[in-house]
Amino acid sequence: MTSRPVAFARTPLSLYSPRWVNPKNGQEVKPEEETEAEEQEQETKLEEEKPSDSAKAPPESSSGSEAPTTPPDSPESPPPAPPSSKPAAGSIAKQSVPEVYPQVLALPIARRPLFPGFYKAVVIRNPHVVAAIKEMMKRGQPYLGAVLLKDENADSDVITDINSVHPVGVLAQITSVFAPTGSKEGDDKEEGLTAVLYPHRRIKITNLVKAGGVVTVEDSSEPQTVESPAIEGHVQTNFLFDHAVSIVHVDNLVTQPYNKDDQYIRAFMSEIVSVFKDIAQLNPLFRDQITNFSINQVASNVFDEPDKLADFAAAVSSGEVRELQDVLESLVVDDRLRKALLVLKKELINAQLQSKLSRDVDSKIAKRQREYYLMEQLKGIKKELGMESDGKDKLIEKFKERASTLKMPDVVRKVFDEELSKLASLEPAASEASVTRNYLEWITQIPWGTHTPENFSLPHAQGILDADHYGLTDIKSRILEFLAVGKLRGSVQGKIICLVGPPGVGKTSIGKSIAGALGRRFFRFSVGGLTDVAEIKGHRRTYVGALPGKIIQALKRVGTENPLVLIDEVDKIGRGINGDPASALLEMLDPEQNNSFLDHYMDVPVDLSRVLFVCTANNLETIPAPLLDRMEVLEVSGYVSEEKAVIAERYLAPQAREASGLGTADIVLDREAVDILIKYYCRESGVRNLKKHIDKIYRKAALKVVQELGEDTFPEPLPALDASTDSTKPETTTPDQSEPTTPTSEVQSSSSPESETSSSSPASSTTPPTSPADTTPNPTEDDPKAVTTQQRKPLPIPDSVHVRITPETLKDYVGPPVYQKDRMYVRPPPPGVSTGLGYLGNGSGAVMPVEAMSMPGKGGLQLTGKLGEVIRESAQIGLSWVKGHAFELGITTSAADTFLNERDVHVHMPEGSIGKEGPSAGTAILSAFVSLFTKTPVNPDIAMTGEISLVGQVLPVGGLKEKILAAHRAGIKVIIAPAANRADIEENVPDSVKTGIRVVYVETVKEVLEEVFRGEPVAERWKETLI
């Protein structure tokens, strides 16, 4: 502190000059002019030389000029002083920038760096940094180091890590500061300030002397201070250590010497100036920036100094942050010019693209405006001449005419009149007019008050149902009951029918038959996979392309208020981010609510009580309970083999014969072949797969007929020509195209005499065969669309054709059987194997063997065969029951003996690729366990189904009709079923299926074991132990 006593002998008066004030109304108080001479005297005592780039230093007094980036609120911020070698004699010397300023306050800058000579306004929010800047301004040392943050998204006023900022920055002078907007003078709780920085020169951070941190400011009379270390020679910045700010040690960066007359430098400068001119022509804001900066350069021309020109190019461009920082860090003039030119070129490309887009938009707008004016003039001319009235008047008249024929409710009529008045006041080209017009189109196309007469005749309905479907006695009787009630009441309102059954049993066709029996219009739509509630309730009219819901579209399509609407796949309805469509169906299907159904698009009540809704589903479990509660469920269980055979003979085979073009041919499909087709190819409950196979048989038959008889019997028809042209001009058939179509011309000329005498003679027998390329009309330049719309007539089948499909030849038509055998074990199986009955997902039953095996282990249970959770639980229950009754079953010698502690049990159900789920296998799994542990085989002719409980009760299951059908097909002789399913089996299973099968009804597991092991020695012992 004693090496330079003269420098700080007394406090300079400049430190107390009002350099920083909290101005009011955006005005800044200027420092007193009398202090300038005394400041000059103090500064001369420091013997500091004027820096070489002092031309960039701002003067103390405001000159009124500002740089391109100067904030509009600081018109009096001091610009750089004019470049001069020394002050003029007799003039007042301005304060110069210290040439050596090793330690400065470090202020990180976000988003883009600062360049020497160009103002920058920054907002400082850190209260410690704000306090430090205030003190700096009071002391007359308004200098800091501005460096760029590496993270573009970061925003901080202090540096905690030197690696978070770029090392190269600028030494900037704080020319003026402003308080936040709305703050009052003397307010101690100031949140921040805006400082205008003027960079002087480039600097480089060598090390971080003091990192910025958060200091807790306590409310005390004595401010909390940090004792600053005594640093020799840098005492002018010691006061900064009292604040929680960042202090760095910096070195000055000097631009390397260069020759202004170097050809590369001159070329770079010329190119930069040229790019400046190009951008200025495209971008007016850029041109204003260049003009303002040129005016501010009073005594120097930036375009004559290469280093300043490069800085100027980078400062006014909006390039990438990394590229701008590279320009700042470059100390070689030609390299700096090259990088600045690259940034400027990108700015030019952006300006050109912006200009092109602007021109395109202007041209489109101008074209549309021109078309609009011309159309308006054309309308006016036509209106004056009486050639055409206004299109809007015609549209309004059309809507009024439609509405006059409809019986709209009063609420709907009021809305219609309001919308019609709105349309009359709107311009046709307005967007609101199109929305209103579409709404009026929909509201006038709903069949208000339009009904179709209904027919409740039971004989008529019975005839239609019998003609369309075979079997389904229960469903037909329920439908007739439904019609009888409607006949007595005069209406079938308030009924929602739900047809449930496996795929292919004819649920959709039953809905069509009901519509035909009643004489109602039919409309079908599917809700499978539907996730948008707007499909049911409609879209709001505010959306582009809004439409009403499906039910409103149905009413428009059928044109009546009482159609039959079939909602297909109601059990597969989805749920997404756009709402729950199943919940939206509640209002539409509820008889108590649908008399005033409110669609989002129509926004008027629509009466749906006269609509008869019929829903279809494959599974009731996936239908929401509130929705299912509103339906009357009719179960369509499927067809047995005899019914399938009759359906194939009466319906499927004739339809397939007609569809294959063999309607008049003698093609016979034997009944035995149909039985084999049903048994080994199509075991599903429905007939859809059977129809596919029959269609395949007739297609294959058609192929064989055509291949065996050949083209002589079925000739390909010739290209259609005009008969009058052929008769009048037989020799002049397009002579200019004779060469490329020579074969066709020959066929035409040879067949024309034949066509005059007899159309049925085999004219093609004397002509060589023609390829498809010769007879296909090809488009030409003269006739680019040479196609014909004449419909081809079906060819007659000769009477000599006889085809018979027998069981022996069936394989040639449909391939090998899908199901090889009905059951796995025909001979007596080993102990541990039993036979169960299952219900597959396609609606068919199946015979499923259950295999159990024991091996040394630790008492575990392993289950395989792609078993579901319910089957796994049934296996656990069965094993637990066997363990609990091991002594009674004779498996252990005493009740105290442990069982299976050192044995593992493995249960497997074959056909592992097919998933198996459900409780039906409980009795079969328990019988397999007892057979395994007692070493007693189970008769393979016995099959069983039923759920078991832990105490040995046998509970009812479903799908008995399909399961018994599968057992009948497999030759099972005894079926063990739950006693609770007796009524279901006796009523729903046909007698033809039960023929040859003895059904045993059981209530407990003991009855199951008694029947399964009847006649075995172990069963005789159970009579005494197993009670």
In this structure, which long-range contacts are made by residues 809-816, counting pairs with CB atoms below 8 Å and at least 24 apart in sequence? 809/673, 810/673, 810/676, 810/677, 810/697, 812/700, 813/696, 813/697, 813/700, 813/701, 814/677, 814/681, 814/693, 814/696, 814/697
Q: Which residues of 884-901 are buried (b: 16+ CB within 10 A; e: fewer)?
A: ebbbbbbbbeeeeeebbe
| Cα torsion through 434, 437, 442, 446, rounded to 10 | 180
**Other CB atoms within 10 Å distance of the CB of residue 743:** 16
Q: With residue 976 as reference, give the H or E element that holds it.
A: strand 974-978
Bridge-based pairing state of the strands 998-1002 and 974-978: parallel
> CA-CA distance, 747 to 186, in Å (whole number)?
110
- Contact in structure between 602 and 443 (CB atoms under 8 Å): yes
Give the span between the Cα atoms of 327 and 525, in whole angstroms. Answer: 67
Q: Give the 3-state secondary structure of 509-541.
A: HHHHHHHHHHCCCEEEEECCCCCCCHHHHCCCC
Q: Which residues pair with 172 in a beta bridge?
A: 144, 199
> Among residues 176, 920, 927, 931, which one is catalytic?
920
Question: What is the C-alpha separation between 941 and 979, in angstroms, rounded?
Answer: 20
Tell the burial category of 88 from Cβ atoms under 10 Å away from its Cβ (0-12, 13-18, 19+). exposed
920 is catalytic: yes
And the tokens for 698? Answer: 């007739």
Q: Which of 576, 500, 507, 563 is nearest to 535 (CA)?
A: 576
First to last CA, the chain: 113
As a whole number of angstroms, the distance between CA 1005 and CA 929 comes to: 12
Q: Residue 388, Cβ neighbours under 10 Å: how many? A: 12
Structure tokens at 804: 């018979």
**C-beta separation of 174 from 121 below 8 A:** no
Enumerate residues 6+ apart whose C-beta is below 8 A from 244: 128, 158, 212, 213, 214, 215, 226
CA distance 293 to 242: 39
- In angstroms, the CA 219 to CA 996 distance is 102
Q: Residue 94 catalytic?
A: no
C-beta separation of 1018 from 936 below 8 A: yes
DSSP annotation of 868 reads -
Instruction: Give me 310's structure tokens.
Output: 């490069």
Which residues face 566 on adjacent strands? 524, 614
Cα angle 45-51-55, degrees, rounded to a multiple of 5: 120
Distances (CA, A) of 294 to 271, 297, 301, 535: 18, 5, 8, 65
CA 242 to CA 851: how far, in whole Å? 88
Q: How far apart are CA 152 and CA 164, in angstroms?
A: 11
Helix H or strand E encompassing 312: helix 306-316
Q: Given 120, 204, 507, 963, which residue is catalytic?
A: 963
In eight-state DSSP terms, residue 1004 is: B
Residue-level length of the chain? 1027
In whole angstroms, what is the distance from residue 19 CA to residue 659 CA?
A: 101
The residues, ordered by sequence, that sit 6+ positions from 658 with a Cβ below 8 Å of its Cβ are none
Q: Any idea what the Cα angle at residue 166 is, between residues 165 and 167, rounded to 5°?
A: 110
In Å, how far are 236, 259, 318, 719, 824 from 313, measured between CA atoms? 35, 20, 10, 76, 89
Active-site residues: which are they? 920, 963
